[in-house]
Amino acid sequence: MKAREHWSSGLGFVLAAAGSAIGLGNIWKFPYITGENGGGAFVLIYLICILVIGMPVMLCEITLGRHTQRNPVGAFRAVSPGSSVFAHLIGILVVLGGLIMLVFGSWGWGALLLVIGALIFRFGWTMAGAMGVMSGFVILSFYSVVAGWTIGYIWKALAGSLSFNTVSEAGAYFKVYSTNPWWGIGCHGLFMIMCIMIIYKGVRRGIERWSKILMPVLLLLLVVLIVRGLTLEGAVEGVRFYLTPDFSKIGARSVLIALGHAFFSLSLGMGAMITYGSYVSREENIFRSTLFICILDTAIAIMAGLAIFPAVFAFGFEPGTGPGLAFQVLPAVFHQIPAGSLWAALFFLLLLVAALTSGISLLEVVTAYFVDERRWSRHRAAMFFGFVIFLIGIPCSLSIHGWERVEWLHVPLVKVFQVSQASFFDFMDDLASNWMLPLGGLLISLFVGWIWGTKKAIEEIRHGSRNFADVHLVALLAGLRDDPSHNSPIHVLTLASLWGIFIRFISPVAVTIAFLFTVGWLKL
């Protein structure tokens, strides 16, 4: 067997993983959910979620990946326990749930649960990895549609056709544009081709090389846009709106949003970080890498708001327009700025760059699975599954403003699964973001915390990061890090022990509570 390809350096890994994390979630979504949920107060809650749940779970994924040197399915399989009593138990419970659904609820979901339960019974924890690979298909199919719009909008901006005086003009244009199948599907296809070409080239010459080029470009574009925004007259209002803490807007709901977004933004819950971690060598300090990735991701998210809101306020536009912000408000804003087309093109280029380094990580999960477990060649896997995801994305694109044009899909989905989402696009988004990712995150932290065990995990983490993991936090805070009296065998508090506690108790409990809200067993 060929030796597994590895990142050429620690920096290469951090940039690739940060590239995966930094995406549409940071630049398109984070600013508007922050604007809607109490500004600075929301940022604070978000930071806590990253620190207490995001970072520990990311370390879990990277550790599991590096230890096993496998894709998510292979990783779970490699360290699964010999006894499968637990898996059998869960499998039986899911089958029972399926039977109940069959009798009292929907036969579609019931039948699905029966199948899933049987698979869990048979394959155990490996199924958690399989769900990750499936999430790759689901997420990339709708993610690529949005990423595709940015390609079209760069083109449109350069051609000078994004000249709107009002937001409603821009909104009407966006609707026409995004429902045009040639633009929608064409640009989605173009984006998938870019992803395929990078993944085709492999870990070093594809993912790492392009992340090293694209991430600095992203930072540069963002800084240029921030400077432009902040130097406009009346920009301060925007900063004030964006970051002034308003605790009256914070409730259980915003905490849930912050937690869900922390997962999505850090690319957690589906094994993307297991996969990227599997290309990390033993000498790397993965504790430190995790820290860097999380800091980069969070910093870019916060910065994105600083690029957007000052400009929005400088020209007196409404900020609270939700998801439409990027494609409906900003074009109108840019039109007010001298050389606006150029600024608009730069902004959409920024979005595209961010989306591309994330898109490739999603395709890589799928590719790695077929390469490792099914012995496909990388070239074949990247092209074939890239194409499959392109096909799944077509109905997402067609249904963006409603089901009308995909009734053939809508009718069976309603009959079998009683879907109630506004479109196929929303259905896929909801399926991944609210169900598969949180469930995946829960399973990963339970698995590492309790099944594989934090003890073995920490052994893996210590390769390359011994000093880091074992620093006594209390001693560190007191400035006594190397003081001999703190080398006592009694464990005070180290990063390692803190991580163990977070991963065994805090993350699973927090994610479970969030999940119960989603399922509807807990109500706001």
Spatial distance between the Cα atoms of 451 and 13, rounded to a whole number of angstroms: 27
CB of 135 to ligand TRP, least distance (A): 7
Contact between 16 and ligand TRP by CB under 6 A: the answer reads no
SS (H, E, C) 237-252: HHHHHHHCCCHHHCCH
Contact 174, 335 (CB under 8 A): no
Answer yes or no whether residue 148 interacts with ligand TRP by CB under 6 A. Answer: no
Q: Is 195 in the site for ligand TRP (CB under 6 A)?
A: no
* Residue 445 makes contact with ligand TRP by CB under 6 A: no
Does residue 25 touch ligand TRP according to CB under 6 A? yes
Comparison of 37 and 433: residue with beta carbon closer to ligand TRP: 433
141 forms part of the interface with ligand TRP (CB under 6 A): no
Tell me: does residue 358 bind ligand TRP (CB under 6 A). Answer: yes
Which residue number, 196 or 362, has a Cβ lying nearer to ligand TRP? Answer: 362
Residue 20 binds to ligand TRP (criterion: CB under 6 A) = yes
In DSSP terms, which residues pair with 472 in a beta bridge? 494
Q: Within 10 Å of residue 487's Cβ, how many Cβ atoms? A: 10
Q: Which of 68, 278, 361, 397 binds ligand TRP (CB under 6 A)?
A: 361
91, 118 contact by CB (below 8 A): yes
Count residues contacting ligand TRP (CB under 6 A)?
A: 17
Complex with ligand TRP: residue 72 or 340, whichever CB lies closer? 72
- DSSP per-residue string spanning 140-178: HHHHHHHHHHHHHHHHHHHTT----SSHHHHHHHHHHHH
Q: How far is CA 52 from CA 17, 241, 491, 499, in A?
A: 19, 27, 20, 9
Local structure of 482: helix, strand or coil: coil
Asked if 34 touches ligand TRP (CB under 6 A), the answer is no
Among residues 15, 18, 24, 195, the one that binds ligand TRP under rule CB under 6 A: 24
298 touches ligand TRP (CB under 6 A): no
Q: By CB under 6 A, is residue 431 in contact with ligand TRP?
A: no
Question: Can residue 137 be called a binding residue for ligand TRP (CB under 6 A)?
Answer: no
Of the candidates 364, 366, 256, 284, the one whose C-alpha atom is nearest the C-alpha of residue 33 is 256
Task: From 73-81, 266-274, 342-350, 467-475, give the range in contact with ligand TRP by CB under 6 A.
Answer: 266-274
- At closest approach, how far in Å is the CB of 429 from ligand TRP? 11
Q: How many C-beta neighbours within 10 Å does residue 355 have? A: 27
Measured distance CA(231)–CA(367) in Å, rounded: 45
Among 23, 98, 124, 202, binds ligand TRP (CB under 6 A): 23
26 forms part of the interface with ligand TRP (CB under 6 A): yes
Tokens of 4: 């597994």
21 binds ligand TRP (CB under 6 A): yes
Q: Which two tokens stand for residue 392?
A: 């799944």
First to last CA, the chain: 53
Contacting positions for ligand TRP (CB under 6 A): 20-21, 23-26, 139, 264-265, 267, 269-270, 272, 358, 361-362, 437
